Structure 1
């Protein structure tokens, strides 16, 4: 998310694959046999959400590229803090990886204490994809636009609940940011991941949600929910009738969720390099690129240096934005 105090992803990043290209031509012997036993990929959210989907997709792709076995372990809870902490404490031997979302850089500003240091405890490997968020509503709510949402919220203050994938996610922050600039009151209902949040709105438990586009995309296409607005810089290619928040007059309202792979700090550099190279080469496959786009993801493909720069910039920038919209750390 950005109100231009956060740089856009293309301004922040750059130089992904180039940063590791030359070194990849001569991999050290220490990585030659990697992996010779199963590699765990921790997904710090519940099954059914974008992080889980990507973890399972890339576990297969890494297995194809590197050989061996890669498997996913869902460690949901505390806005991804539980799974992230488990990854931080794991042996730095290349056999535990973390596939996480923007919650990784949001949580240090949303919690008084987080059980990991995003800079010191992890070695960045690759930023994979990013996606906008989307405001959605149930048909029963009779909300078909952001104007409807604002009107209902103002007519009946504090009666509307909105769901998100949990505290420490960009949908949560987007929802709170929207409340602050629209001058409305809604109650945030956090869930333990995008999957449970989507199930809640599909079942009618909550009338509104702010969600990452990939998780909500099938339900929007099936007309199970109404898409009110996307938070990207332009309309999504296969949702041409859904406006951006900027089009609706919410100046600089940009909010995206990135997904990235990291390893515990101290993981051998040659293994970091090998995994990063494999991921970036995989992301250049045209069929995968189109598959990801159809699911609501935009391929980024930045290596360790680009991901490190993003983390270093966004941790303090999000902390400032969280304070600006009045969210008190929990």
Structure 2
């Protein structure tokens, strides 16, 4: 023992310094052991099937993306990667289930922009976007497109705005439904251009395009993929896309930013996430494999043909998008007077 007054060693046991050194050594050993266990877990991962939850119905953009990712992740890891659709409540049901899953790397989520829109669109949601998930990768985006009936004789966005200002509420626009990014893109257009156009929601992009073709509405705002065949056929006219750049096979259709509307980028993103507290090593592994898959030229071409622009950002990129877009959509929803449900 050590005498507290003199500092001299006394018989009967180890010194406090030795005991402290031993405690630190034990703590270091425990930390190293924990890190070793995590690394070993990541090294042996996966040893049983991985499930990716998609919070929407099959055959939509998010489902398409998840199934392409799952197929190639299963080859890259290797192991079985399955997709489970848990649709309902605008994506909230599936996202909530994924948030409560065991954070072991075997229950993952591929979701859309609904992840960042829903916190402002619903009075209560079963997840906190900044806390309940660990971002893995920002996968891809799809721009929305503003369409008009060619019979109106409107050939530009400026022409549309002039018509809408001359005759408030005479024009109406179809969207795939309340709270979708196409709907909110239409509302943002009304805000920034100072026009009054009536929103007519439908049950999906297909019905919204059909409403325009059938003359039920004069305009439509939808995601680009289901509109492309009609644009190419000339049965609808595309006035603008809402992505960061012009779409590769629609070079004559300008972006909203090009037309003078700064920061008007309202594409629909696809994100890959894991429940919070998932091992950082597993998150890093999944991010690396996902980016490797998405940047393969064959996959880039396949996704482009399906209407996606590959982004392939890692965890930091997806986190930034989430942090940026939650307040952005909150502002749009508030200014548009959309009441949370």
**TM range, normalised to the smaller chain?**
0.7 to 0.9
For residues 150 and 276 of structure 1, do their structure 2 counterparts lie closer, same or farther at Cα, with a shift above 3 Å needed? same
Q: Alpha carbon RMSD of aligned pairs, Å?
A: 3.0
Partner residue in 2 for 1:98: 109
- CA distances 1:88-121 after superposition (whole Å, capped 9, x unpaired): 2233232222111222112212222222110111
For residues 43 and 200 of structure 1, do their structure 2 counterparts lie closer, same or farther at Cα, with a shift above 3 Å needed? farther
Gapped runs of 5+ residues in structure 1?
A: 1-25
Structure with larger Rg:
2
Q: How does 1:243-282 map to 2 (within 5 A)?
A: 243-282=254-293
Inter-partner Cα distance in structure 1 for 2:316 and 2:327: 18
Task: Report the number of matched residues.
Answer: 305
Out of 48, 64, 89, the residue aligned to residue 100 of structure 2 is: 89
8 Å contact 2:184–2:332 — kept in the other structure?
Answer: no
**TM, length-normalised to structure 2:** 0.76
Inter-partner Cα distance in structure 1 for 2:150 and 2:105: 47
Inter-partner Cα distance in structure 1 for 2:91 and 2:222: 16
Q: Confirm or deny that 1:167 pairs with 2:178.
A: yes
8 Å contact 1:217–1:295 — kept in the other structure?
Answer: no
Shift of 1:222: 4.0
Out of 62, 68, 73, the residue aligned to residue 62 of structure 1 is: 73
For residues 127 and 247 of structure 1, do their structure 2 counterparts lie closer, same or farther at Cα, with a shift above 3 Å needed? closer
Inter-partner Cα distance in structure 1 for 2:89 and 2:152: 29
Partner residue in 1 for 2:321: 310
Partner residue in 1 for 2:21: none
Q: Confirm or deny that 1:31 pairs with 2:42.
A: yes
8 Å contact 1:56–1:72 — kept in the other structure?
Answer: yes
- CA distances 1:114-154 after superposition (whole Å, capped 9, x unpaired): 22110111111111112322112456777654356446656
For residues 215 and 28 of structure 1, do their structure 2 counterparts lie closer, same or farther at Cα, with a shift above 3 Å needed? farther
Q: Confirm or deny that 1:71 pairs with 2:82.
A: yes
Partner of 1:104, secondary structure, is: helix
Inter-partner Cα distance in structure 1 for 2:169 and 2:273: 39
Inter-partner Cα distance in structure 1 for 2:212 and 2:42: 46
Shift of 1:229: 1.2
- CA distances 1:231-290 after superposition (whole Å, capped 9, x unpaired): 234432211222223444445433222211012223333322221111011122122223
- CA distances 1:162-193 after superposition (whole Å, capped 9, x unpaired): 33343333222111011223343334344555
Inter-partner Cα distance in structure 2 for 1:192 and 1:273: 38
8 Å contact 1:79–1:192 — kept in the other structure?
Answer: no
For residues 179 and 284 of structure 1, do their structure 2 counterparts lie closer, same or farther at Cα, with a shift above 3 Å needed? same
Partner residue in 2 for 1:213: 224
For residues 66 and 114 of structure 1, do their structure 2 counterparts lie closer, same or farther at Cα, with a shift above 3 Å needed? same
Out of 156, 178, 188, the residue aligned to residue 189 of structure 2 is: 178
Inter-partner Cα distance in structure 1 for 2:124 and 2:205: 23
Q: How does 1:10-159 map to 2 (within 5 A)?
A: 28-138=39-149, 145-147=156-158, 149-150=160-161, 153=164, 157-158=168-169
Partner of 1:227, secondary structure, is: strand
Inter-partner Cα distance in structure 2 for 1:45 and 1:233: 25
8 Å contact 2:143–2:268 — kept in the other structure?
Answer: yes
